[in-house]
Amino acid sequence: MVEFYTPEEILAYEPPKDLVLVGDCQIMRGGITVLGGAAGIGKSLATTSLAVSGATGKNWLGLPVHHKFKTLIVQAENGLYRLHSELKKLDCPQQIYGSVKFSEPLIDLRDLKYRKSLDNELKVFKPGCVVLDPFNSIAIDDTMAAYTEALTLIEKQFLSKEPKPAVVIVAHPRKPKRNEAKPKGRELMHELTGSLKLTSRARCVFMLESTNKRGLLKLTCAKNNNGEVGGESLLRFEGGRFVPETKISLSEVQAGKKNSGISLEQIKEILKEPLTRKEAVSKLLELTSKSNAYALLAKDGRYASHLDEREGKLHFVEQPPSETGIPDSSSSENPGGGENKNNKDTQGIIIPSPPPMGTGILETGKNNLPSKGITQN
């Protein structure tokens, strides 16, 4: 059934007070927002930061939060260890307890039992925002039909019933073509996997890029149908959140610069599934040069102790913490790449392996975790 409205009805419409959650309609209830960027650049940390901003009312990526909201993060990549690490980086206040929930690393919108579990969580928790991380865990392959099906599943699951939450989809870039010019501005969104379908359905698209300045990311709002697109901005991670850079101007940095400062966390992200050396290099080309990619993955390379090659594929190996409890000096707390030159001053904390988890949702502020096991990423 299709509804039609007269001009009088449209003019008499009064939007709900909490319709626009963040910025100039960049994140709003009933709409889809996309956050894209290369592997390991900090997208998951940015969405976790969004959840914290929703609970505290503090700005997100320099954008004002108009109304506090709960966030449900439905994700397929991070186990308890990684989630623990990211929340520690954010130095989360107790205000987020009861306002944020994370799923175990599983997204299966085609499974009826999974959808019913989500329906129940949405009904009980009543999130103002749902984060889906990443899009390629919902689309079964790289075809237009798969992208269309994935978006239909998302809209049916999250946007077909009242009250409608805002939906934020985390997306990875497609494999770049040889000799392809680096896009800028609005054209950046076409770098995303399934961009034709994904960005046409989305009302707003953000793109995160690395820069040639260590610790700085470039944020571009490539699309915003319901408000001003706004300009590009630089971000740095400070005090547990991404904040606008005020001391360095955009003219002083090169966005998308191939950065040699690849962190251990980025290597781990790329090798979350075993890859051939050629496949791993291909993924690293999103972040660094070809020669540096091969050097990083060499048997005598910087991260050799974390790489195990078996049956022609590279596997990431977790290093046991040192007896002193000081983290591996090659690891970086710095989103977007770049070496952390202050490791020698860092007070390391050994985080014990958390207990297994499983019914689907991890709630902040609770110690009684479910019993089903998940992968510790």
- Number of residues that this document lists for the chain: 377
Cα–Cα distance between 360 and 372 in angstroms, integer?
9
pLDDT of residue 215: 83
Cα–Cα distance between 76 and 272 in angstroms, integer?
11
In 3-state terms, what secondary structure has residue 182? coil
Q: Is the pLDDT of residue 315 over 80?
A: yes
Question: What does 280-333 look like in DSSP terms, one character per residue?
Answer: HHHHHTTTS-HHHHHHHTSTTSTTGGGEEEETTEEEE-PPPPPTT-PPPTT---
Q: Is the pLDDT of residue 330 over 50?
A: no
pLDDT digits (tens, 9 = 90+) for 167-186: 999 999 887 666 666 777 77
pLDDT of residue 17: 93
pLDDT mean over 314-323 = 68
pLDDT digits (tens, 9 = 90+) for 212-259: 887 899 999 999 999 998 778 999 988 778 889 988 888 888 665 555
Q: Is the pLDDT of residue 28 over 50?
A: yes
What secondary structure letter does DSSP report for 254?
A: -
Which among 60, 46, 32 is positioned nearest to 194, based on CA atoms? 32
Residues 14-255+356-363, CATH architecture: 3-Layer(aba) Sandwich (3.40)
Half-sphere exposure of 347 (CA within 13 A, CB side): 0
Helix locations, the chain, DSSP H = 7-12, 43-56, 80-90, 112-125, 144-158, 195-201, 264-270, 277-284, 290-296
What is the Cα 131 distance to its own chain's centre?
9
pLDDT of residue 260: 53
pLDDT mean over 310-318 = 90
Higher pLDDT, 231 or 338: 231
pLDDT category of residue 261 using cuts at 50, 70 and 90: low
Average pLDDT, the chain: 82
Query: 109-129 burial, b if ≥16 CB within 10 A, otherwise e?
Result: beeeebeebbeebbeebebbb
pLDDT digits (tens, 9 = 90+) for 65-121: 999 999 999 999 989 998 888 888 887 778 899 999 999 999 999 999 999 999 999
pTM of the model: 0.71
Cα–Cα distance between 5 and 211 in angstroms, integer?
47
pLDDT of residue 375: 44
How large is the greatest C-alpha to C-alpha distance in the chain, in angstroms? 72
**How is the chain split into domains, by residue range?**
14-255+356-363, 264-342
What is the Cα 293 distance to its own chain's centre?
23
Q: Is the pLDDT of residue 332 over 60?
A: no
Cα–Cα distance between 362 and 3 in angstroms, integer?
39
